[in-house]
Structure 1
Amino acid sequence: MTTTAPASATKGASLRRSLGLWAIVGLGLGYMTPTVVFDTFGIVSDETKGAVPAAYLVALVVMLFTAVSYGKMAGAIPSAGSAYTYVRESIHPNLGFMVGWTSLIDYVLLPMVNCLIIRLYLEQVFPAVPSWIWVVLYCAGVTTLIYFTMRGTSNVNMILLVFAIVVMAVFVTMVVVQLANGAGDGTVASVKPFFHDGVTLGAVLTGATVVCFSFIGFDAVTMYAEEAKTPRVMPRAILLTVLIGGAIFLVAAYFAQLRFPTNAPFGEFTDDPLPQIGLIVGGPVFQAIFVSAGFAATLASGLASHASVSRMLLVMGRNNVLPRRFFGHIDGKTQTPTFNIILVGVISLLAATFSLELISAFINFGALIAFTFVNISVIAWFAIRQGRRHTAKDIVRFIVLPGIGMLLTGILWVNLHADALIGGIVWAVVGFAYLLFLTRGFRRPVAAFDENQPVTGFNKAV
């Protein structure tokens, strides 16, 4: 059995253990993009009939069970990996490949969804400008930047994160004052955002499948396992990322729902009402600040996701999972995987036509598959491989809890947008056919494509 090695293993070095607990939590929260709660607010409010916080509460419960499973697997396999690493090591490499292939949807579409959110911001602020212009400018700018350099720091991420959270705190304060003066529902304490006449469990579950998109990123902290000061902090970091992120989403959604019981104030901009929320709550000046916070958080996430998927495609090319000549190429001058970077930029141009609801559903398809199999991995690794199933404590920890997590993520998965289910299943079928080709009908082992897997000839400047 193999485990994932550090990216620098080919040079006999190791990743520097310099990240403490809160640095890792900050990276996870930054990847989650806290302001996304306002981007999807209109969509979820419409789906749930005005019960956005209820959808977030359901999603948070599901994510907590899954976070516990991620923590267990990060402790058992302390390598810079993800869901497919855990499935590959605990169950079978071929199944790990399929989970990884399905998760590839997330990686490829996340840069596009960030572009889409930026487009929705700018077309509201500058309605006279054709929206496709913003998409082209964004894709050109981000692609060009990453084309020449893929460097970034956790310090920049933390600055952007703190800025976004401070602006959100100002928003909540302003809304509380307005509610006390009779705006919206005219109260700061109500169960209406969670339950009222017309709200059904099915509608809340459908809304929860949308807001799962908000939590994507908590699992990304597992990639810092080899850079944590001690591997023991990883389970806590994962759980704290979900808890703090979920608390931010819940508080913001609760007060936003009280202030905006219906989508009527947003007019035609329910797809992404963040700019309208800022305008109505604080006027043009606060709108500019609010949009700036959302813009900064989304841009940071866009840069990170674009660079990440380009690197993952590079590893897949170098390990002959994808055609090496194209995907394994590194430019001699820029020392970046230029073909991959341009490809991701071209795919992101589709943000000019797709809706946020549909793209987030496609992303959630891959994420929920990954989350489900991480829960299964806990059972496979601890209860089956290690035989830890003979005491009540072990049965609860390694069978019952991950079993509940698996069931809950499965429920959300079947409640996804129908188009996302169809498209995701087609993608999985293509992946299975490709797996048959790579393994010559399962007659030889499949190559790994963990984005942190060592790559022959990989230049550390990338």
Structure 2
Amino acid sequence: MLLTRQNLLRTKPVEQLADEGAHTALKRGMGLVPLVSLSVGATLGTGIFVVLGDAAPKAGPAVVLSFVLAGLAALFSALSYAELAGAVPVSGSAYSYSYATLGELVAWVCGWCLLLEYGVSVAAVAVGWGEYLNAFFESTLGLRIPEALAAPPGEGGLVNIPAAIVVLLAATVLLGGIRESAAVTTVATLLKVGVLVFFVAVAVTGFESGNLTPFSPAGFVGIAGGASAVFFSFIGFDAASTAGEEARNPQRDLPRAIVISLAIVTSVYVLVALTAVAAVGTDTLGASKASLAAVLEQVTGTGWPATILAFGAVVAIASVVLTVLYGQTRILVSMSRDGLIPRFFSRVNRRAVPQTNTLVVGGVVALLAALVPLGQLAEATSIGTLVAFSLVNVGVLVLRYKQPNLPRTFRTPFAPVTPLIGLVLCVGLVLGLDEITWATFAIWVLIGLIVYFAYGARRSKLNHQ
């Protein structure tokens, strides 16, 4: 097949996407509460339990504003996600939205970025899970997993076995079916919110205003740098959009779930960051990856609150692994159904679960978690996410122009201003990332383009329509 500009920019009709979603082989069984739990579960825990200690030294006490800025950037994109999720209720999330608005090549790049956002962030979170597992073992049993077996190369170890184990356990739960996965997610989400409320209640007893001065030692540059780092902690609010074919009423519930989950997550992040910094200062936060447990231990002078926090973090971060892994597999279902990746990724078993897809993704991510350092993973994930968010903001504008009368159960307020602000904020956060992150991302996109032109462009189902 001759690859022409027209072929590369061909779009997939919204009506066709909607029809595929309506006749999906996946099973519809999720209401609003499970969808909110899915997005909160995919988000809450990644930044607060893992990244806060890395971001606090960059911004100082103003790391609280870093969370606000990152949350604001996420909000504008969330509104765009909500509109498209209500108009195009399929499992492909930003990939499918880009296919309907910006064309196949852009959709492929977006999907390739989502592999970075979902697949790689699972590995990054799993690495942090091992830190809290060690903290829990140390406070209860006085034991630690040997460094060689609990950290990847480059961080003092040989292989991170706990990180690989939690990924494989999450994949096993997903193989049980959507109802079972949703139940586990809801329980774990309620538990993690409860643990973080407990943290705030204890940490506020050690509140010292002196720890908040100077509030912004590095000025706006430090706040922006911190926001770029902690934006990783907002990855996942869009997880509900990957459940478009397993929600009972996607047009109504998907937009609600996205907006509600982001409001919950941002509120919790700001409260936890403020009380943590005020209690111990940014130096203590930066000294340990299991930073919140260290805060409670210093504030109370005893180990039991830190033990509760560490246990909650173990459960919370495991639920993040579960929900983000779920999102990754569903995006691959959509890409496979379009012919851009091998067909086995969209095949489902008698439980309506993409079994082979889940096994492959689980195995690859487990290896990644075991062998790659957290910092590099988190940074690379942020840029992939921001590119996907940018495309969603552009997609809202394009679809408003091309199909103004398309039924929408949610309309982004003050468009086109709102999507444009979301786009500008995403671009600004991307520019705040390190050069090594840009280089890593450029290599990732180049690999993706090679895969697309060697495989996907010729096997696209649009070629046969």
**What range is the shorter-chain TM-score in?**
0.7 to 0.9
Q: Could you tell me which residue of structure 1 aligns to residue 225 of structure 2?
A: 206
**Is the deviation greater in 274-283 or in 327-336?**
327-336
Alpha-carbon distance, 1:229 to partner: 3.4
Q: Quote the Cα distance in structure 1 between the aligned partners of 2:325 and 2:204.
A: 37
Structure 1 counterpart of 2:122: 111
Determine the structure 2 residue equivalent to 1:32.
Answer: 43
1:253-268 correspondence to structure 2 within 5 Å? 253-264=273-284, 267=287
Equivalent residue, structure 1, for 2:460: 446
Report the equivalent of 2:6. Answer: none
Give 1:39 shift.
1.9
> Could you say which residue in structure 2 is the equivalent of 1:156?
184
1:132 Cα deviation from its structure 2 partner = 4.3
Code of the aligned partner of 1:291: A
Q: Please list every run of 5 or more consecutive structure 2 residues that lacks an aligned counterpart in the other structure.
A: 1-12, 151-159
- Which stretches in structure 1 are left out of the alignment for 5+ residues? 389-393, 449-462
The percent of aligned pairs where both chains have the same amino acid is 23
Letter in 2 for 1:131: E
Could you say which residue in structure 2 is the equivalent of 1:66? 77
Provide the secondary structure at the position in 1 that maps to 2:415. helix
How many equivalent residue pairs?
425
Q: 1:452 is matched with which residue? A: none
Q: Which residue matches 1:19?
A: 31
Under a length normalisation based on structure 2, what TM-score does the superposition of the two structures give?
A: 0.80
Q: Tell me if the contact between 1:185 and 1:261 (Cα under 8 Å) persists in the aligned partners.
A: no
- Change in Cα spacing, 1:329 to 1:406, as seen in structure 2 (3 Å) is closer
Q: After the TM superposition, which of the residue ranges 283-292 and 298-307 deviates more from structure 2?
A: 298-307
Give SS of 2:340's match: coil
Supply the AA of the counterpart residue of 1:213: F
Deviations for 1:159-213, whole angstroms, at most 9, x for unmatched residues? Answer: 212221122112212222222xxxx4369xxxx48x7352321221111112111
Whether the 8 Å CA contact 1:275–1:291 is kept in 2: the answer is yes
2:202 is matched with 174
Q: Tell me what 1:367 maps to.
A: 385
Structure 2 letter corresponding to 1:416:
L
Distance 1:290 1:334 in 2: 36
Give me the TM-score of the superposition, normalised by structure 1.
0.81
**Alpha-carbon spacing, 1:298–1:17, altered in 2? closer, same or farther (3 Å):** closer
Is the Cα–Cα contact under 8 Å of residues 91 and 381 in structure 1 kept in the other structure? no
Find the residue that maps to 1:321 and give its secondary structure: coil
- Counterpart CA distance in 2 for 1:410 and 1:266 is 27
Give the letter aligned to residue 194 of structure 2: V
Instruction: Tell me the amino acid that sits aligned with residue 435 of structure 2.
Output: A
Q: Does 1:94 align with 2:105?
A: yes
RMSD: 3.4
CA contact (8 A) 1:383 1:399 kept: no
**Pair 1:278-2:296 in alignment:** yes
The separation in 1 between residues aligned to 2:432 and 2:29, in whole angstroms, is 41
Query: Secondary structure at the residue paired with 1:51?
Result: helix
CA distance in 1, matches of 2:185, 2:169: 20
1:447 CA displacement: 4.9
- Is 1:380–2:398 an aligned residue pair? yes
What is the rounded CA distance, in whole Å, between the counterparts of 1:60 and 1:240 in structure 2?
13
> Contact 2:92/2:332 (CA < 8 Å) preserved in 1?
no
Q: Distance in 1 between matches of 2:200 and 2:351?
A: 48
Matched, 1:358 2:376: yes
Match of 2:92 among 68, 76, 81: 81
Counterparts of 2:388 and 2:264, CA distance in 1: 22
User: How far off is 1:48 after superposition?
Assistant: 0.9
**Relative to total residues, which structure has the larger helix share, 1 or 2?**
2
* Cα shift at 1:41: 1.5
Equivalent pair of 1:150/1:307 in contact (CA under 8 Å): no
> Residues 274-324 of structure 1: CA distance to partner in whole angstroms, max 9, x if unpaired?
332232234211111101111101112223334553565566567653455
2:162 matched to 1:143?
no
Structure 1 position 44 matched with structure 2 position 55: yes
Amino acid at match of 2:275: F
CA distance 1:352–1:272, shift in 2 (3 Å) = farther
Offset at residue 337 of structure 1 (A):
3.8
Q: CA 1:312–1:395 in structure 2 vs 1: closer, same or farther (change >3 Å)?
A: closer
Find out whether 1:434 has 2:451 as its counterpart.
Answer: yes
Contact 1:34/1:249, CA 8 A, preserved across alignment: no
Give the counterpart letter for 1:129 in structure 2. Answer: I
Matched, 1:248 2:268: yes
Q: 1:408 aligns with which of 415, 422, 425?
A: 425
